Structure 1
């Protein structure tokens, strides 16, 4: 656990202290949906991911590419807004943005996302996704460490109706992997070769690329750079809006730039790994014939080559 993990985790008596209290929160009871009326422009870019699969990272890449590395924003969600976010001051989803193409973040899967734009989907190993998701909400949505990662897995991650289950997202976006308006990337491949990911995203966006732009955006999308500018990537406008919406303490904050490691799931118990493997077999291998995430990642590379 990093220092930034613990910095926002000061106990508050008004936070849930158990899994049932967490499940009773409006944040987990109600499914999310996009805005009722939203005109999609053909050039709109949607960073469409399951939570904690490189969303903020990809937002930074997209914004850097369209602005040649401009960092003059308070927080990334104010220039690449979340489609399903509570209203944020100064953010008009339907209006123009600071640069073109317009760009949005969404956690909606393919069947629910507004159609007519272009979609970047980043997938990530389910065990790492679970680990990162747990640390993101630990100390924000519930008292620090009052809900274990195992409880979170069985009670929320495997049956999360708000964002749709991880497996549902993966199947939905995999089904449209060969569409010209969809770019499917693996978090792990982005970690291995960030420059190639920047080039792929730029080409998908229709951005004229030169070596200077690619080098700048690659540098500004590293973990080290984003961690050094953490307040611009901590989602504090949305966190504050969510806190007001579901009556969480307004002072409680979270962090987005945590560790970004691949294979960051060593803390998970054998029972959690077993249930993740069993769920993969039932929800991915049986319907898609893909026996593991490693195989899925390998197949995704062939689409881009």
Structure 2
């Protein structure tokens, strides 16, 4: 029996009603994460490279452990669990994984993650995340075309299940740049320099690389490869919970991997201005960077070529 609306939301308010219905479901399997020494958190903000980094992390450790890559999963978050969404889908994310180290996905800020772990973060232009987030929800959580880019602002600011707003996440992780437990760069750098990123990530999690490993992981983290296997990156576990609780078909278009990247130029001027205002209020005084472009240059220069 479904709760909530029994269909996709047609407004921001209806989206909230559906989420409330899902969260009201009694939990039978969920247990809070019991973190272990050496755990790795892929802690990018929403639509900022999380899925690519989950795939990169998983393939590195699987090839190192078994000599073979691994696409035998229905959802990348089944093999690199999404901690934030575990209560929503009533999932126990504890226990051994297919290879070590264990890895988890989160969109949260540093202060709300377990201390003493290892953290991998790619940062992205807030305006690109906005367009990508809307594109992701439109036709899945939301009736296609029902909520335009201008009306989407509260959902973007919410940051997803158990998440935080973009600026809280950005400032939290920017402050961790240079810490030995944190590997931080931009999504743009990681996507454009995948072989180098693969080597950096492998070294960070204590795995030695070979040219063959790097080449295979590079192939498997390309947009073409991931798009060809997009049904592995479509939040199948969340989709199943949505179908069961609020009647949104599990075969909806929920893939995170698109054939082309989202373009910040699609953003309405009114929304771009609101994001610029929030940047000036929250980010500029703390970092000295007047805009995303300046911050990205600084992060990428520090990370190195």
TM-score by length of 1: 0.86
Question: In structure 1, what is the equivalent of residue 239 of structure 2?
Answer: 239
**How far 1:143 sits from its partner (Å)?**
1.0
Question: In structure 2, what is the equivalent of residue 280 of structure 1?
Answer: 279
Question: In structure 1, what is the equivalent of residue 227 of structure 2?
Answer: 227
Which whole-Å CA distance do the structure 2 matches of 1:90 and 1:243 have between them? 14
Cα 1:209–1:251 change in 2 (3 A) is closer
Q: More displaced, 295-304 or 98-107?
A: 295-304
**Does the residue aligned with 1:150 lie in a helix, a strand or coil?**
coil
1:20 to 1, 9, 13: 13
> Where does 1:204-223 land on structure 2 (aligned, <5 Å)?
204-223=204-223
Question: In structure 1, what is the equivalent of residue 73 of structure 2?
Answer: 73
Question: What are the ranges of 5 or more consecutive residues in structure 1 without an aligned counterpart?
Answer: 1-11
**How far 1:13 sits from its partner (Å)?**
7.3
Cα 1:197–1:81 change in 2 (3 A) is same
Which whole-Å CA distance do the structure 2 matches of 1:29 and 1:86 have between them? 12
Question: In structure 2, what is the equivalent of residue 270 of structure 1?
Answer: 269
Which whole-Å CA distance do the structure 1 matches of 2:237 and 2:134 have between them? 20
| Conservation of the 8 A alpha-carbon contact between 1:28 and 1:160 | no
Cα 1:198–1:160 change in 2 (3 A) is closer
Question: In structure 2, what is the equivalent of residue 6 of structure 1?
Answer: none
Q: More displaced, 289-298 or 82-91?
A: 82-91
Question: In structure 2, what is the equivalent of residue 59 of structure 1?
Answer: 54
> Where does 1:37-186 land on structure 2 (aligned, <5 Å)?
37-68=32-63, 69-86=69-86, 92-153=92-153, 155-158=154-157, 162-186=162-186
Which whole-Å CA distance do the structure 1 matches of 2:197 and 2:21 have between them? 33
Which whole-Å CA distance do the structure 2 matches of 1:149 and 1:252 have between them? 24
**Structure 1 runs of 4+ off > 3 angstroms?**
27-30, 86-92, 158-162, 242-245
**Does the residue aligned with 1:17 lie in a helix, a strand or coil?**
coil
| Conservation of the 8 A alpha-carbon contact between 2:236 and 2:250 | no
**How far 1:23 sits from its partner (Å)?**
3.7
**How far 1:234 sits from its partner (Å)?**
1.3
Cα 1:27–1:194 change in 2 (3 A) is farther
Residue by residue over 1:88-120, the C-alpha shift from the partner in whole angstroms, topping out at 9 and shown as x without a partner, is 999642200010111111111111012221000
Which whole-Å CA distance do the structure 1 matches of 2:124 and 2:20 have between them? 23
Question: In structure 2, what is the equivalent of residue 298 of structure 1?
Answer: 297
Residue by residue over 1:109-133, the C-alpha shift from the partner in whole angstroms, topping out at 9 and shown as x without a partner, is 1110122210001111111100110
**How far 1:160 sits from its partner (Å)?**
5.2
Which whole-Å CA distance do the structure 2 matches of 1:20 and 1:79 have between them? 33
Alignment RMSD (CA, Å): 2.6
| Conservation of the 8 A alpha-carbon contact between 2:31 and 2:94 | no
Question: What are the ranges of 5 or more consecutive residues in structure 2 without an aligned counterpart?
Answer: 24-29, 64-68
